Structure 1
Amino acid sequence: MVAHPLLSVSNVSKSFGSVSVLHSITFEAHAGEIIALVGENGAGKSTLMKILSGVWPQGSFTGSLAILGEPVFFSSTKSAQKKGISIIHQELHLIPELSIAENIFLGKEPHRLGIIDKEALHQSTQKILQELDISLSPTIPVKYLSVGEKQMIEIAKALSHKTQILILDEPTSALTDKEIKKLFLVLKKLKSEGVLCLYISHKLEEVFEISDKIFVLRDGKLVAQKITTSATSTQIITDMVGREISEMYPPRTPSFGKTVLEVSHLTCRTDRGKKILNDISFSVREGEILGFSGLMGAGRSELINTLFGATDFDLFGNIFLQGKEFKPSSPRHAIESGLSLLTEDRKFSGIIPQRSVRDNMTLASLHHYSHKKIINLPKEKEIVKNFVQQFKIKTQSLRTDMTHLSGGNQQKVLLARWLLTKPKVLFLDEPTRGVDVGAKVEIYTLMNELARNGVAILLISSDLPEVLKMSDTIAILNQGCLTGILPSCEASQEKVMHLATTKATTRIAA
């Protein structure tokens, strides 16, 4: 007797209005497999996972699902959980004020005589944590955990539902290297216990490290199913974008102009006197891409947010913009002075979710096509339409709410927002996080074009190869101190990582 696959997906299709997002998806997956699902933003990955986890109920799509050969019909996420399917979203869904135990068993707490049995709750939690090799007390409030620890609690929460199919959507996007290694150990343990893991990621190096098979989606179609050990990154990228990408990092010949931004001995303190940044000095020229590298918590985001007037730190030292002293008092002041900032967290400090693509894109530049506070709507529409076409933003219309766009397309809208302000200095904080390979190349090409046109760019990225390949000069921070500045031609991963872990006793400069 042939064993049935754990999960069978047959001819699944899904549309939003007139826009078709999934086309006849068919595949099988077996217990104890880790299957990576990759594709460009808007390829349909998240939509497919929402169907499998009951977010999109039966009747909202066509086709069928089966578990161990038995057809299943999900009306909600709860009905999917009852069949052993759990999903861990990129944005974690934990309640900060509740303890680890209370989060894991929320809604299904053990009771005795109508009262929550705290002892049983903590014992059950401890058992799950031990199975995952998590050394945390069940009573710790979740708000005190790191992002990586919260990710582990989400997995523990999923396993409390007796999960046999675990879906992970970009699980490492905010994790440190150490936390990623811990996550992979847990996934391999689950694999050995027969759990099927469906792993969505844009990071191909992780995909090749952790997966058994790679499924590629493009434009809502399943275009490739490959055994990981017999595939190459070049093949996967070609399948994802439908064309061969010969250069991930487009070459350019830099040409520098005058110094645009100069920071001299900048120190920042909180209102309680704690130093956030200490004695930072650097400069960036017209047409230069200055990359900032460092470990999590090094102070990179704090630095550019301070320069953008988006912090309330007490500032000491000097900032000069085009040779004149500059004291950023607010983001509005920074924008009016020619600075723009693409923030690290697009959902928290970037997009306005319930407003349209058009409203989000023109938010910072309405004065360019307004007269006496009246917006020239035809001109605004034409500008937005041009950027949507230029950036290949996948949207049903210019009036579509941002919530309906994939993460990568939201990022493109935000990038267009800041380019419409015609900046002299552009701060890019993790610009390609959660963005697919094809979109990354488009963003890199755009960065080169902006630099060629004289824009000074400050790039922050946790992707070290990205910093090395896209920067002309690299500044390294550690614990709020500048530990080194290197020309890209002299930089290497080893040198940068050494400086990122070195105390700022002496500074190495180019």
Structure 2
Amino acid sequence: MKEQVVLSMQGIGKEFLGVKALQNVNFTLRSGEIHALMGENGAGKSTLIKVLTGVYELDSGKILIGESQTPVVNRSPQEAQKNGISTVYQEITLCPNLSVAENLFIGREPRRFGLIDWKTMNKKSKELLDHLDIQVDPAVQLDDCSIAVQQMIAIARAVDTNCRVLILDEPTSSLDDEEVSKLFGLMRRLKADGVGIIFVTHFLEQVYEVCDRITVLRNGELVGEYKTSDLPRVQLVAKMMGKDFDDLADIKSAHQKDPNEKKVPMIEAEQLGHTGTIRPYDLTINKGEVIGFTGLLGSGRSELVRSIYGADKPDSGKLKVEGKEVKINSPLDAIKLGMAYLPENRKRDGIVADLSVRENIILALQARLGMFHPISRKKMEEYADKYIDLLKIKTASRETPIKSLSGGNQQKVIIGRWLLTDPKFLILDEPTRGIDIGTKTEIQKLVLELADKGMSVAFISSEIEEMLRTCSRMAVLRDGAKVGELEGDDLTQQKIMNTIAGGDEKHE
């Protein structure tokens, strides 16, 4: 039986500021399939989705819906929805102060005598929720529901508007395993109803669990479309990266240090703490080492480095930098002492969205020099070009607004900003979150190269495997306290898990 095509995108092209974001891309979605759209950051996934949903106007190519041979032009997301294309984004765009039923029918409420017919709206909501096996009372306020349930309600609303194509853009990034499992159950029910689902995600395991087909983009071009069962994971990664995939475990082996080499302290904390965020702790960070901070969400990983950097001014203990006791009252004090800090939330705390790549790169150096020592335009351009080249930042020019870059390239700009200050101690808080595996590998290699040159690096990541690849020692945190340190043969996933859980007392 021939599979029915519900969406065909042919020869799609889109250009921004001289950069070809999409070149001659084809994408086909069939009725009743879950189709993964994969690629590194900057590969063109978001642009393709935005062209499809009318956020961007396409420059070339055509979009066909169903069996019609008449091209569709969506000039807005509302027009796309009328054509049967709905999108549910990572950030839920519903109204938390309204009920579940109100959110499901907002803008299309059933009416009687000109007034909202609450009885009918609640009844229809219950029928829709029951059909999709979403266990929630239509009358409860949305804000009282978990993030996972809110996500499913957003999907229910989308599919109840004559939806033939459902786009799920990173829907699982804030869900736990049980919630992901429930979401996948909903996706499979929609698939059985004949809905075509485009699933955009960074999680390879999830792709292989739920997807029928995979389309891979790279540098704005189509690499290919594959049946999931025909494409081994290593091959998928190789196609996304455009090269053979080296085992990431080998990264660290090229940078092994002599265990007999004398350790010279860079940072020494003695009972340093900040009331309400991190309990007093002792810690030494040596020159040329990568130390990891691990623990569950809320364990105090970020709070510990913030206390060193002065982002949360410590209210107990002492801190030495290169053997001298110092008082750090603000991040500017830390910068002047040779520290650099890449924060966890790059969009909120890292980039200045409306400034150019050049302006974002020179920000920290200019702050350290002070307003009375402005950097010349020529020097700014030299610095920007150096780090665009060194870090392989994909941008049309140094003057491109940073908000136009992909997440991975924004991250590289912030790393370039701090490298320009020639720091002695670099703090990286979740430097690879939400970016593709190729850029992750580049950042991990860069961290080890910087350590080889004598820089001390603090590395925080939610991925223990990534920490094991890059760190020579790890501090373990639990409930706002440092509860252990692991290195050498003890630096294993099992030992880390035991220490986090409190089951390995000898490392306390």
Give the TM-score of the pair, scaled to structure 2.
0.89
Which residue pairs with 1:262 in the alignment?
A: 268
The question of whether the paired residues in 1 share the 8 Å contact of 2:158 and 2:166 is answered with yes
Q: Distance in 1 between matches of 2:19 and 2:223?
A: 19
Q: How does 1:444-463 map to 2 (within 5 A)?
A: 444-463=444-463
Which residue pairs with 2:293 in the alignment?
A: 292
Label 1:17 to 1:136 Cα distance change in 2 as closer, same or farther (>3 A): same
Which residue pairs with 1:385 in the alignment?
A: 385
Sequence identity (%): 39
Label 1:475 to 1:91 Cα distance change in 2 as closer, same or farther (>3 A): same
Label 1:341 to 1:150 Cα distance change in 2 as closer, same or farther (>3 A): farther
The letter of the residue matching 1:394 is: K
Which residue pairs with 2:170 in the alignment?
A: 170
Which residue pairs with 1:412 in the alignment?
A: 412
The question of whether the paired residues in 1 share the 8 Å contact of 2:27 and 2:215 is answered with no
Deviation of residue 119 (structure 1)?
A: 5.0
Q: Distance in 2 between matches of 1:377 and 1:348?
A: 27
Deviation of residue 137 (structure 1)?
A: 5.2
What secondary structure, in the 3-state scheme, does the structure 1 residue paired with 2:245 have? coil
Q: Distance in 2 between matches of 1:254 and 1:395?
A: 36
Which residue pairs with 1:273 in the alignment?
A: none
What secondary structure, in the 3-state scheme, does the structure 1 residue paired with 2:61 have? strand
Which residue pairs with 1:62 in the alignment?
A: 60
Label 1:329 to 1:370 Cα distance change in 2 as closer, same or farther (>3 A): closer
What secondary structure, in the 3-state scheme, does the structure 1 residue paired with 2:87 have? strand
Q: Deviations 1:403-435 (Å, cap 9, x if unpaired)? A: 211111111111111111222221111111121
Q: Distance in 2 between matches of 1:120 and 1:326?
A: 68
**Residue 303 of structure 2 corresponds to residue 311 of structure 1:** no
Deviation of residue 298 (structure 1)?
A: 2.0
Which residue pairs with 1:278 in the alignment?
A: 279
Which residue pairs with 2:507 in the alignment?
A: 508
**Residue 492 of structure 2 corresponds to residue 483 of structure 1:** no
Deviation of residue 359 (structure 1)?
A: 1.0
The question of whether the paired residues in 1 share the 8 Å contact of 2:248 and 2:469 is answered with no
Q: How does 1:156-235 map to 2 (within 5 A)?
A: 156-235=156-235
The letter of the residue matching 1:308 is: Y
The letter of the residue matching 2:288 is: G
The letter of the residue matching 2:62 is: S
Deviates more, 1:144-153 or 1:292-301: 144-153
What secondary structure, in the 3-state scheme, does the structure 2 residue paired with 1:496 have? helix
The letter of the residue matching 1:75 is: R
Deviates more, 1:419-428 or 1:81-90: 81-90
Label 1:260 to 1:371 Cα distance change in 2 as closer, same or farther (>3 A): same
Give the TM-score of the pair, scaled to structure 1.
0.89
Label 1:426 to 1:175 Cα distance change in 2 as closer, same or farther (>3 A): farther
The question of whether the paired residues in 1 share the 8 Å contact of 2:3 and 2:31 is answered with no
The letter of the residue matching 1:174 is: S
What secondary structure, in the 3-state scheme, does the structure 2 residue paired with 1:374 have? coil
Q: Distance in 2 between matches of 1:81 and 1:21?
A: 24
Deviates more, 1:286-295 or 1:474-483: 474-483
Q: How does 1:2-81 map to 2 (within 5 A)?
A: 2=2, 4-57=4-57, 60-70=58-68, 71=70, 72-81=72-81
Which residue pairs with 1:470 in the alignment?
A: 470
The letter of the residue matching 2:196 is: L
Deviates more, 1:398-407 or 1:130-139: 130-139
Label 1:348 to 1:107 Cα distance change in 2 as closer, same or farther (>3 A): farther
Label 1:355 to 1:43 Cα distance change in 2 as closer, same or farther (>3 A): same
Label 1:421 to 1:148 Cα distance change in 2 as closer, same or farther (>3 A): farther
What secondary structure, in the 3-state scheme, does the structure 1 residue paired with 2:189 have? helix
What secondary structure, in the 3-state scheme, does the structure 1 residue paired with 2:315 have? strand
The question of whether the paired residues in 2 share the 8 Å contact of 1:308 and 1:341 is answered with yes
Label 1:399 to 1:146 Cα distance change in 2 as closer, same or farther (>3 A): farther
The letter of the residue matching 1:282 is: L
TM-align CA RMSD: 2.8
Deviation of residue 149 (structure 1)?
A: 4.8
Deviates more, 1:411-420 or 1:116-125: 116-125
Deviation of residue 5 (structure 1)?
A: 0.7
Aligned length: 500
Unpaired segments ≥5 residues, structure 2 = none
The question of whether the paired residues in 2 share the 8 Å contact of 1:263 and 1:280 is answered with yes
The question of whether the paired residues in 2 share the 8 Å contact of 1:34 and 1:197 is answered with yes
Q: Deviations 1:305-355 (Å, cap 9, x if unpaired)? A: 33322237x733333332333443222222222222211121111111111
Deviates more, 1:407-416 or 1:475-484: 475-484
